[in-house]
A and B are shown apart, each in its own frame.
Chain A
């Protein structure tokens, strides 16, 4: 299954995973509001 998604970067600008897969993406999920 191929994965893709669009989220917002820290400046609030959309960021799409598939546009950055010239390398692997290691994504760490955070609980939040720390």
Chain B
């Protein structure tokens, strides 16, 4: 997350999930995140009205994606991922934000509340292994299914680039904590 670039373009960055505040606090603490992750537990406030409810999945989760709300309260940009592996291109998000021509802003760092991770939360030390596994499985599938064409190749390339960004962020986090 390129927070400084968003702030320079006049946007504050927030996370949002259908998890409890305790689960979101656990994620913030685990990943060293200082932007708040908000909780919409019944999905009725923001997840469903903004089109992020995953109707195919009965669990308390939302589809990944990003929305920009202008200072006038209007939706200036919305990307709803097709599934958990589909995230917006941050260059695209920033371009839309810059298009609003807003003055730069600031954002206070937020301290997480009491952490209460859920039963399926992955421990921090497992994350690099998880992402490396996801990356190499994708590389293998890309090689195996080259014949499927450009759309498949582009999708796997985008996913691998995303995983590489996550791995870099985890490496930075590890260095900061060392």
Residues on A lying within 8 angstroms of B by beta carbon are 1-12, 15, 17-18, 20-34
Contact = CB atoms under 8 A, between A and B. Distances in A.
B63 A15 contact: no
B12 A10 contact: no
A2 B10 contact: no
A10 B74 contact: no
Interface string B1-34: 1000010001111111111011111011000000
20 contacts: A1-B74, A2-B72, A7-B39, A9-B38, A10-B21, A10-B110, A10-B112, A22-B71, A23-B102, A24-B10, A24-B71, A28-B14, A29-B16, A29-B52, A29-B63, A29-B64, A31-B63, A32-B61, A33-B19, A34-B122
B46 A27 contact: yes
